[in-house]
Structure 1
Amino acid sequence: MKEFVITTDSNSDLLPSYIKEKKIGIISHYYDLEGITYGEDNLLSAKEFYDKMRAGIMPTTMASNPAVIRETFQNYVNEGYDVLHISFSSALSGGCNNVMVGAQEICEENEGAKIIVIDSLNVSLGQGMVIMKAVAMREQGKSIDEVAAWIEEHKLEFCVQFTVDDLYHLHRGGRVSKATAIVGSMINIKPILVVNNEGQLVSNGTTRGRKKSLATLVDNMLSTMGKYQNEQNVICVVHGDVEEDANFLVNLIKEKLHIDNIVVNTVSPSIGAHSGPGAIGICYMGEHR
């Protein structure tokens, strides 16, 4: 059985230590801040990035670079590997299409090359959890085709929901109207958002107040986990530079589920540019989104 590598993009929000340990190939998404383009080796820390947003400096984002995609895949093919790429939701970025085009070109130019691209229809560590599962299956000796088939069948069971602290950034990204953002902020409305089966970001209700919104995330998770509630799968918490709220959410999850297998990371700039400082979410396995 031919060895295969697993690749993804920087929007998967995997911990750097995990990426290094499991040798995950990363294709960068980019963002522009104050006329400087960041990505790959040119990065701001999460705190630097979110502090700039708090100061009113707004970033713009760009999808993955087709030339970098081709180079990445070509290098793995040259080394004799098959490639399984798990992409950020195609409903939210053109990056998935760029990867599919690049993979097809490399396969056409290299006889015997095999590159499978999966649209995760997911974001952040929801996408990251798909990669974790792929890595675990590879370590169990599964082939690239077996792993890809399992993911395609089960990818809608990787769930993401989150809330934001400031409606302005959702308005800026076209997710809510200006009037909704203004009125909602005045009366402390906090939206609950989910990634749906089409990989789109959609509303799943509102709450009043920050702590209530965090508790609602956990309640919603419990109501959709079904059989997975008893399987002790990893649960992930992602946040836009709000460690105190992330710790509160982690403790709430532990209290409800009595598990310690919780991964916490910051939301990457390419996503955080749209969700803003203070965004926070839960990623988990559920019977439905």
Structure 2
Amino acid sequence: MSLQLMTDSACDLSRSYLTTNNVEVIPITLNHEEQVFQDGIDIQPEEVYRGMREGKVYKTSQISVQDFIDAFEPFAKTGEKVLHMSFSSGLSGTYNASVIAIEELKEKYPDSQIVSVDTKSASNGLGLIVYQTIQKRDQGAAYEELIDFVEERARQTEHIFTVDDLEYLRRGGRLSKGAAMVGNLLNIHPLIRLNDKGELEQFSKVRGRKKLFHEMIRIAKE
């Protein structure tokens, strides 16, 4: 019985790389005013970043239960095993939607074997887990081994990052307009991580770009 790896477009790996390595990608939806885009299909990350620098505001929508059913059902019909590596449940309802979809398909296809793992990761963190799982699969790991591997990597993966412009945190509702303005004027950079629940958490502030990178390197070495 064959095995299909799947993930969300939040992994930030190129679609060409994932296609070459036989990984199905379910796109997240982006909304700008009345326009709706599928991440990586109708719009590319470079376009989003450019638009944000120009002042455009993009909002994301979680992948729906029906989107997951549409993606999973062809494999449920054929009995192919599926391992889906999901965007953090602490940042989106996407993982919960995938679980509901699996439960609904289980009623229709009792013998289906579809597992979704909450990686509690995002962006390059999720991408790294997907990349390592591809390697593990290509080394001949069994389905159950891969599930255990992804769950282990979800516990071990650390995310530490910052932002150059606090305006983006303000737009996302995570910072007041006044705090963003003062922080930018004083060249203050927040250090942010994903906690054990996969939620964003500010744990420090550093003034000045040079000090920022020294601090990030120090933390990474600990």
TM normalised by structure 1 equals: 0.72
Alpha-carbon shift at residue 222 of structure 1 (Å):
1.9
Structure 1 residue runs without a partner (length 5+): 224-289
Unaligned runs of 5+ in 2: none
Structure 2 distance, partners of 1:86, 1:177, is: 33
2:104 aligned partner: 105
Q: Is the 8 A contact 1:34 1:57 kept in 2?
A: no
Residue 153 of structure 1 corresponds to 152
Q: Which has the higher contact order (CA 8 A, sep 6+)?
A: 1
CA contact (8 A) 1:31 1:37 kept: yes
Deviation at 1:55, TM superposition (A): 1.9
In the alignment, does 2:193 pair up with 1:189?
no
Deviation at 1:209, TM superposition (A): 2.3
User: Shift of the alpha carbon at 1:41?
Assistant: 6.5
Task: Name the residue aligned to 2:162.
Answer: 163
Does the 8 A contact of 1:122 with 1:199 survive in 2? yes
Aligned pairs for 1:114-263 within 5 A:
114-223=113-222
8 A contact 1:28–1:40 mirrored in 2: yes
Structure 2 equivalent of residue 45 of structure 1: 44
Asked if the contact 1:159/1:195 (under 8 Å) is kept, the reply is yes
Shift of 1:149: 1.7
- Assess, with a 3 A threshold, how the Cα gap between structure 1 residues 44 and 144 changes in structure 2: closer, same or farther: same
Alignment of 1:84 onto 2:110: no
Q: Following TM superposition, where does structure 1 have runs of at least 4 consecutive aligned residues deviating by more than 3 angstroms?
A: none
CA distance in 1, matches of 2:22, 2:46: 26
Deviation track 1:10-67 (CA, whole Å, cap 9, x = no partner) reads 1011123320221111111111113110005742233322222122221111011322
Indicate if the aligned counterparts of 1:89 and 1:123 stay in contact, CA closer than 8 A.
yes
Aligned residues: 222
Shift in CA distance, 90/41, structure 1 to aligned 2, threshold 3 Å: closer
Q: Where does residue 25 of structure 1 map in the other structure?
A: 24
Provide the C-alpha distance between the structure 2 equivalents of 1:214 and 1:16, rounded to a whole number of angstroms: 30
Does 2:73 align with 1:74? yes
CA contact (8 A) 2:30 2:39 kept: no
- TM-score scaled to structure 2, two decimals? 0.92
Q: Kindly state the Cα deviation for residue 213 of structure 1 after the two structures are TM-superposed.
A: 2.3
Query: How large is the RMSD of aligned CA atoms in angstroms?
Result: 1.8
Deviates more, 1:196-205 or 1:12-21: 12-21
